Amino acid sequence: MSENNLPPVEYIPNFLETTLADKLYKHCQQLAWEQNNIRLMGKTIPVPRLECMYGDEGCNYVYSKSVLLEPLRWTSPLSEVRSRIESQTGYQFNIVLCNRYRTGLDSVGWHNDNEPSMGETPAIAEISLGQERKFQMRPHSGESITDFWLEHGSLLLMKPGCQENWVHQLPKTSRALKERINLTFRPHINGTSS
């Protein structure tokens, strides 16, 4: 954990120029969105957002022990933004898990992304498109919350150490918000470039 007790992240607003972010947002609205469900205490619960995943062949991803995502083939715009993130951050990514928050009521609760398929101490890079939303992080064993406001076209890089020592969430809100799409680029042990 970092000494000042801030999460090891880097936030770059305007990582994508506005025209590129607008174009990518339009493209992402056409992706193969699905409503997934998780199994919790014998119940089937719809995930409060839409999801889809693109990536290298064979890079299946399971989360909450109940949702299996199989990668669809990279689209050119997703592949181009992946290359740009890789060259700017020095990390490599094999899949992109996409989240679509239709209103302020769509969300993701406190969690860390510690699926073994990402390998040890993964870095995860998030591109935000559309509505600005509050994203929060707190240490695994601690109360102090750090807020980030993720803007259209921004990049949030969660560096190695984040998933091991911190949890994060995108809280729901009753404020009337427009849609947001989030692209989370992740490594995978079966990836072609890992």
Residues in 130-189 that interact with ligand AKG by CB under 6 A: 135, 150, 168, 170, 182, 184
**58 phi-psi bin (left φ>0, alpha ψ -120 to 50, beta other):** left
Task: Report if residue 108 touches ligand AKG, rule: CB under 6 A.
Answer: yes
Which one of residues 94, 99, 117, 163 is an interface residue with ligand AKG (CB under 6 A)?
A: 99
- Other beta carbons less than 10 A from residue 62's beta carbon: 12
Q: Is 117 in the site for ligand AKG (CB under 6 A)?
A: no
Euclidean distance between CA atoms 188 and 73, whole angstroms: 15
Residue 93 CA to residue 96 CA, distance in Å, equals: 8
Q: Which of 59, 97, 123, 157 binds ligand AKG (CB under 6 A)?
A: 97
Nearest distance in Å: CB 181, ligand AKG: 9
Any contact of residue 34 with ligand AKG (CB under 6 A)? no
Residue from the set 25, 69, 117, 126 that interacts with ligand AKG by CB under 6 A: 126
SS3 content of the chain, % helix, strand, coil (to 5): 15, 35, 45
Contacts of 4 (CB under 8 A, 6+ apart): none
Which residues form the interface with ligand AKG (CB under 6 A)?
A: 97, 99, 108, 113, 126, 135, 150, 168, 170, 182, 184
